[in-house]
A and B are shown apart, each in its own frame.
Chain A
Amino acid sequence: MTAVYALPARLDLPAATPLAGELRSLRGAPLSVSADAVTHLGTPCLQVLLSAQRSWQADGHRLTLETPSPEMDEQLALFGLSTADLEALPEER
């Protein structure tokens, strides 16, 4: 059963700690992150998402990013990244 988590619109510095908390609590199972509402992606939240990618990868679970908003795509590109960099696609154990 894949859990679904919807990202808030503003992923700025104040959002980073709550986001990390939410994602930590969802660890240990496949996760689908919905990013259609994101209007701003700041570096601290980007770090959390990248860290989540590493965690899920290490745990051997799938982490996917669904329907990224155009803003999210644009800002990821500025960081030199794409949505694929936030996804963990290990072979399920």
Chain B
Amino acid sequence: MTTPDPMAEIRASFFVECEELMEALQDGLTMLDGGDADDETVNICFRAVHSMKGGAGAFGLDDLVRFSHRYETVLDEVRAGRLEPGHDVVLLFMRAADILSDIVHYSRDGLPVDPDKVEPTLRELEALISDEAEEEEAEVTDFQPMTLALPFGGPPADRVVRIRFAPEPDLFTSGNEPVHLLRALAALGEMQITPDLSEVPTLDALDPEAACLAWEIVLTTNRDRAEIEETFEFVEGLCKLSICEEQSGLSLPCLPGLPPLAMPPAPDAGVSPSAEVRPRLTLTAPPDCSDPEEGTPPPDTAKTHAPQPAPATPIAVESPVATAARPATTPPKATVRVDLDRIERLVNLVGELVINQAMLSQSVAQAGLPTNSPVVQGLEDFMQLTRDIQDSVMMIRAQPVKSLFQRLARIVRDTSAAVGKPVRFVTRGEATEVDKTVIERLADPLTHMIRNAVDHGLERPEARLAAGKPSEGCITLSAAHRSGRVVIEVMDDGGGIDRPRVQAIAEERGLIDPGQAMTDAEIDALLFMPGFSTVKQVSNLSGRGVGMDVVRKSIQDLGGRVSISSSPGKGTCFSISLPLTLAVLDGMVVDVAGEALVVPIGAIAETMAYREQDIRSVGPRTRVLHIRDSFVPLLDLGVELGFRPAKESNAGSVVLLVANEGETLGALIVDAIHEQRQVVIKGLQQGYGNAPGIAAATILGDGQVALILDPVDMMAKAGTRPGQTQPALAPTG
């Protein structure tokens, strides 16, 4: 955004807010449909639509105002208990929410809204409350959008802010000094300060580094609260602080973690604070030493000697009381919106930090320092910190899959309507957090899979009834963390894969030889073969057989795998397994023909020494490894990658057992294992294109570039040509 126009920024933030409101609306509607809704659920839906209408009015987005107004009217009927939110009604509400979402997008992009798309749903909505439709029509035109008072043009009004500030001893020892804070505060406006000296002891009882002073500050300022809070930014947690605004009875909540302090009385309410510039001194010691109370300082002079509090004094404790009145609503978490680019930069920097730290460790190791030397110990702490920073940065990028699932709910509704199959959509594990980049890139493949599930997975309602199933099909979308990966499953309760038909289609298309004997898994895998799909256009909504090869490709590009399980008559489950992040990886650094390679730990089931007696030859160039009563293909990595010709003997080598999703796929021979470590993934695709068996590259501690292997892909490539183990990366010259 290059324009400095503040209106444009506010407009942009309105649309971001709309996305959040849409999410709240979808949530509420889902709860309504699930039957676990209460009055508050309807209120949430209503408020979401209402807020969108209000904002849209301020920006003159008439289409949005018009639709949300009518939508809101119907929701209001539900709220008032005059309309029962049955299943059909909620389904209509969901469709209306989809359209509302479209209108938001059109409005944002300045595109015209197609009335043909909007009107039918509007009419359906109004049919729900047909009795009142006419009356409402009149009201629409009456609706005057509320103009927002935007904070620019004309100086903001002065407000009175009351601050109580009581330092704690740590404030001094951490190098902070209240006098600087007070000076900064005084620069924000007219400051009237009253020290609270009640805790000051005589010298014999004084700890000079303890804190026994506090201040009451009345600040008349036109600055906003954030600026005032900023003053205390560096002493947060080092003092007791409450900031309350004295305007229209508005009580701002205190800073988190700081208990509201009992507010001493305001200065004379009638006197304008600015009229009394001289600080008001309340607590000088009484000059008369015969005062009976004199021996000890008065316990709380400020309270006992003070006039009654001014009625306008806001009390900070009001806010917890107000919250307690509505226990059902969870308070929203404080969040901040950050440009994704900034996070990307941070992630990159942390990646560099990890590499740098590895280089440092290497230098320390080479220096031959004893392991108990402070440098080595300090470095270990540093490594732990680096790891923590990395995890925290990754957490910034992590997002719940909920928003993605909600988008897919719409795909289910649309597809269900398009093909005439009623569908119940169930989601599980919406709170599962996945890297934002992964989520964005999952949207397309999942959309295809969901459409496929509705279109091909589910039977027609008649067929379902005939098979003794409910006429409404069920699509379940679930997400879960499983052993350092995210597993997303798309399940349908349809007829399962029609394997004879799949085999027949594959034969017809020349993908397999006629009459070839195949296992169920092999037949299922045919679905992913390029050329199996009947429609080339992957974006074709209504077409049959969206290219599953494209889906698999997208998942693989994310470092993921997709697998199918299906049982006839019961349904099919597509399971996607993905790395949590695309930025770092736990890997095993191995040596192959003098080259360092990184093998992802997740793909290694076991490592063992190479023993000649475990190896069997099958044909001239193919060997298998005998392990625990079974045989798995054995590949020499050096040969596979074209690093060297096959050795006479692999004695002394190491064998890595490669597994995917618990299934042992094969074994790789490497020359040696160096270490196990975390590596930063540097993509190769942009520079070099996709190399089979190679996932990416990384930079090791000594500055050497190492390839990150994709052992599963490597096994699969070798497996597609049974009897051959041609080097996958053989030199072409």
Q: Which residues of A contact B (CB under 8 A)?
A: 12-13, 16-17, 19-20, 23-24, 27, 41-48, 50-55, 57-58, 60, 75, 77-82, 84-85, 88-91
Nearest-CB residue, chain B, relative to A45: B208
Please report the C-alpha to C-alpha distance between residue A54 and residue B206 in the assembled complex, in whole angstroms. 11
Q: Flag the segment in B55-63, B172-180, B622-630, B712-720 that touches A.
A: B172-180
Given known pairs A13-B173, A50-B200, A52-B203, the reply for A58 and B295 (CB within 8 Å) is yes
A-B contact pairs, 11 of them (CB 8 A): A12-B177, A16-B208, A27-B203, A43-B178, A47-B212, A54-B201, A54-B202, A54-B203, A81-B195, A88-B285, A91-B289
In order of increasing CB-CB distance, the 3 nearest A-B pairs are: A80-B193, A16-B208, A55-B202
* Most central of B167, B173, B289, B297 by chain A CB within 10 Å: B289
Residues of B within 8 A of A47 (CB): 200, 206, 208, 210-213
Q: Are B206 and A51 in contact (CB under 8 A)?
A: yes
Q: Are A48 and B285 in contact (CB under 8 A)?
A: no
Nearest-CB residue, chain B, relative to A79: B195
Smallest CB–CB gap between A56 and chain B, Å?
9
Contacting A at CB under 8 A, from B490-526, are none
* Most central of B173, B186, B213, B281 by chain A CB within 10 Å: B213
Given known pairs A20-B208, A78-B183, the reply for A54 and B177 (CB within 8 Å) is no
Please report the C-alpha to C-alpha distance between residue A53 and residue B281 in the assembled complex, in whole angstroms. 15
Given known pairs A43-B211, A43-B213, A54-B285, the reply for A48 and B167 (CB within 8 Å) is no
Please report the C-alpha to C-alpha distance between residue A17 and residue B207 in the assembled complex, in whole angstroms. 8
Residues of A within 8 A of B106 (CB): none
Please report the C-alpha to C-alpha distance between residue A50 and residue B8 in the assembled complex, in whole angstroms. 55
Please report the C-alpha to C-alpha distance between residue A24 and residue B194 in the assembled complex, in whole angstroms. 27
Given known pairs A54-B285, A91-B289, the reply for A80 and B215 (CB within 8 Å) is yes
Q: Are B193 and A79 in contact (CB under 8 A)?
A: yes
Given known pairs A52-B203, A78-B183, the reply for A57 and B193 (CB within 8 Å) is no
Please report the C-alpha to C-alpha distance between residue A58 and residue B195 in the assembled complex, in whole angstroms. 21
Please report the C-alpha to C-alpha distance between residue A24 and residue B203 in the assembled complex, in whole angstroms. 7
Residues of A within 8 A of B411 (CB): none
Residues of B within 8 A of A43 (CB): 167, 172, 177-179, 211, 213
Smallest CB–CB gap between B299 and chain A, Å?
14
The 8 Å CB contact of B289, one of A48, A78, A90, is A90
Report whether over half of chain B's contact residues are helix, strand or loop; otherwise say mixed.
Answer: loop
- Bitwise, B289-300 to A at CB < 8 A (1) or not (0) is 100001101000
Please report the C-alpha to C-alpha distance between residue A19 and residue B294 in the assembled complex, in whole angstroms. 25
Given known pairs A20-B208, A43-B167, A43-B177, the reply for A85 and B203 (CB within 8 Å) is no
Nearest-CB residue, chain B, relative to A23: B203
Q: Does B477 count as interface, using CB distance less than 8 angstroms?
A: no
Q: Are B289 and A50 in contact (CB under 8 A)?
A: no
The 8 Å CB contact of A80, one of B173, B195, B210, is B195
Given known pairs A55-B203, A89-B287, the reply for A75 and B179 (CB within 8 Å) is yes
Q: Are A81 and B279 in contact (CB under 8 A)?
A: yes
Q: Which residues of B contact A (CB under 8 A)?
A: 167, 172-173, 177-179, 182-183, 186, 193-195, 197, 200-204, 206, 208-213, 215, 279-281, 284-285, 287, 289, 294-295, 297
Smallest CB–CB gap between B409 and chain A, Å?
58
Residues of B within 8 A of A41 (CB): 179
Please report the C-alpha to C-alpha distance between residue A31 and residue B10 in the assembled complex, in whole angstroms. 63
Q: Are B287 and A90 in contact (CB under 8 A)?
A: yes
Q: Are A80 and B179 in contact (CB under 8 A)?
A: no
Residues of B within 8 A of A53 (CB): 285
Residues of A within 8 A of B167 (CB): 43
Residues of A within 8 A of B203 (CB): 20, 23-24, 27, 48, 51-52, 54-55
Known: A44-B208, A46-B213. 7 other contacts (CB 8 A): A43-B167, A51-B202, A57-B289, A58-B295, A79-B178, A79-B213, A90-B287
Residues of B within 8 A of A81 (CB): 195, 279, 281
Smallest CB–CB gap between A89 and chain B, Å?
6
Nearest-CB residue, chain B, relative to A82: B281
Q: Are B209 and A13 in contact (CB under 8 A)?
A: yes
Q: Are A24 and B204 in contact (CB under 8 A)?
A: yes
Q: Are B193 and A19 in contact (CB under 8 A)?
A: no
Please report the C-alpha to C-alpha distance between residue A84 and residue B620 in the assembled complex, in whole angstroms. 104
Smallest CB–CB gap between B110 and chain A, Å?
53
Residues of A within 8 A of B211 (CB): 43, 47
Please report the C-alpha to C-alpha distance between residue A51 and residue B206 in the assembled complex, in whole angstroms. 7
Smallest CB–CB gap between A14 and chain B, Å?
10
Please report the C-alpha to C-alpha distance between residue A84 and residue B284 in the assembled complex, in whole angstroms. 8
Residues of A within 8 A of B200 (CB): 47, 50-51, 54
Given known pairs A46-B213, A51-B200, the reply for A79 and B281 (CB within 8 Å) is no
Smallest CB–CB gap between B191 and chain A, Å?
9
Please report the C-alpha to C-alpha distance between residue A85 and residue B200 in the assembled complex, in whole angstroms. 13
Nearest-CB residue, chain B, relative to A93: B289
The 8 Å CB contact of B177, one of A42, A50, A88, A89, is A42
Please report the C-alpha to C-alpha distance between residue A81 and residue B212 in the assembled complex, in whole angstroms. 15
Please report the C-alpha to C-alpha distance between residue A56 and residue B627 in the assembled complex, in whole angstroms. 91
Smallest CB–CB gap between A62 and chain B, Å?
11
Please report the C-alpha to C-alpha distance between residue A88 and residue B285 in the assembled complex, in whole angstroms. 8
Residues of B within 8 A of A16 (CB): 208-209
Residues of A within 8 A of B172 (CB): 13, 42-44
Nearest-CB residue, chain B, relative to A78: B182
Residues of A within 8 A of B285 (CB): 53-54, 57, 88
Residues of A within 8 A of B201 (CB): 51, 54
Please report the C-alpha to C-alpha distance between residue A24 and residue B173 in the assembled complex, in whole angstroms. 23
Residues of A within 8 A of B173 (CB): 13
Q: Are A17 and B280 in contact (CB under 8 A)?
A: no
Smallest CB–CB gap between A74 and chain B, Å?
9
* Most central of A43, A45, A50 by chain B CB within 10 Å: A43
Smallest CB–CB gap between A20 and chain B, Å?
4
Please report the C-alpha to C-alpha distance between residue A55 and residue B296 in the assembled complex, in whole angstroms. 10
